[in-house]
Amino acid sequence: MSVLREIKQRKPFGSHGEEALVTLLRTTDVVRRHLGDVVEPHGITMQQYNVLRILRGAGPDGLPTLEIAARMLEHTPGITRLIDRLESKNLVARQRSSDDRRCVYCHITAAGLQLLVALDAPLRGAADHAFHVLKKRELAQIVDCLDRLREGLRKK
Amino acid sequence: MSVLREIKQRKPFGSHGEEALVTLLRTTDVVRRHLGDVVEPHGITMQQYNVLRILRGAGPDGLPTLEIAARMLEHTPGITRLIDRLESKNLVARQRSSDDRRCVYCHITAAGLQLLVALDAPLRGAADHAFHVLKKRELAQIVDCLDRLREGLRKK
DNA sequence: GATCAATAGTTGACTAATCAACTATTGAGC
DNA sequence: GCTCAATAGTTGATTAGTCAACTATTGATC
What pLDDT, in 10s, does the model give residues A72-90?
Answer: 999 999 999 999 999 999 9
Nucleic strand D under 7 Å from the C-beta of B100 = yes
Tell me how crowded residue B145 is: count the other CB atoms within 10 A of its CB: 21
* DSSP letter assigned to residue B64: E
Interface of B with A in 53-112 (CB under 8 A): 54, 57, 70-75
pLDDT confidence tier of residue B8, bands split at 50, 70 and 90: confident
Instruction: Give residue-wise pLDDT tens across range A40-82.
Output: 999 999 999 999 999 999 999 999 999 999 999 999 999 999 9
Length of chain B (residues): 156
Over the range B80-109, which residues count as b (16 or more CB within 10 Å of their CB) and which as e?
A: eebbebbeeeebbbeeeeeeeeebbbbbbb
Q: Which residues are CB-neighbours of B123 under 8 A, at least 6 positions away?
A: B35, B38, B39, B49
Tell me how crowded residue A61 is: count the other CB atoms within 10 A of its CB: 7
Instruction: Give residue-wise pLDDT tens across range B104-131.
Output: 999 999 999 999 999 999 999 999 999 9
Q: What is the pLDDT of residue B147?
A: 94
Closest to A9 measured CA to CA, from B153, B151, B138, B67: B67
Q: Which residues are CB-neighbours of A71 under 8 A, at least 6 positions away?
A: A54, A63, B7, B8, B9
pLDDT averaged over chain A?
Answer: 91
Q: Which residues are CB-neighbours of A87 under 8 A, at least 6 positions away?
A: A93, A94
Closest to B39 measured CA to CA, from B133, B120, B156, B150: B120
Instruction: Give residue-wise pLDDT tens across range A1-34.
Output: 777 777 777 666 778 889 999 999 999 999 999 9
Q: Which of B18, B34, B143 sits opposite A19 (nearest CB)?
A: B143
Interface of B with A in 101-120 (CB under 8 A): none
Instruction: Give residue-wise pLDDT tens across range B24-74.
Output: 999 999 999 999 999 999 999 999 999 999 999 999 999 999 999 999 999
Q: What is the pLDDT of residue B86?
A: 94
C-alpha to C-alpha distances, B118 to A36, B31, B121, nearest whole angstrom: 36, 20, 7
Q: Report residue B121: phi and psi, to 5°.
A: -65, -50
Q: What is the mean pLDDT of residues A127-154?
A: 93
**pTM to 2 decimal places:** 0.91
SS3 A108: strand
* A156 burial level (CB within 10 Å; 0-12, 13-18, 19+): exposed
Strand C: which nucleotides have any atom within 7 A of a protein Cβ? Answer: 7-12, 15-20, 24-27
* DSSP letter assigned to residue B13: P
**What residue type is B2 in one-letter code?**
S
Q: Does position A135 have pLDDT exceeding 90, yes or no?
A: yes
Spatial separation of the C-alpha atoms in residues B17 and A128, rounded to whole Å: 5
Spatial separation of the C-alpha atoms in residues B50 and A120, rounded to whole Å: 35
| Residues of chain B contacting A152 with CB distance shorter than 8 Å | 129-130, 132-133
Tell me how crowded residue A83 is: count the other CB atoms within 10 A of its CB: 22
Going through B20-77 in order, the beta strands assigned E by DSSP cover: 63-64
Q: Report residue A59: phi and psi, to 5°.
A: 85, -175
Cα atoms found within 13 Å of the Cα of residue B16, Cβ hemisphere only: 14
Residues (55-84, chain A) with CB within 7 Å of strand D atoms: 64-67, 79-81, 83
Instruction: Give residue-wise pLDDT tens across range A89-124.
Output: 999 999 998 889 999 999 999 999 999 999 999 999
Beta bridge partners of B105: B64, B95
Closest to A10 measured CA to CA, from B134, B139, B54: B54
- Given CA atoms B41, B42, B48, B50 in this order, what sign does their dihedral have? negative
Interface of A with B in 2-21 (CB under 8 A): 2-3, 6-11, 14-21
Q: Does position B11 have pLDDT exceeding 70, yes or no?
A: no
Cβ(B77)–Cβ(B70) under 8 Å? no
Closest to A68 measured CA to CA, from B104, A111, A78: A78
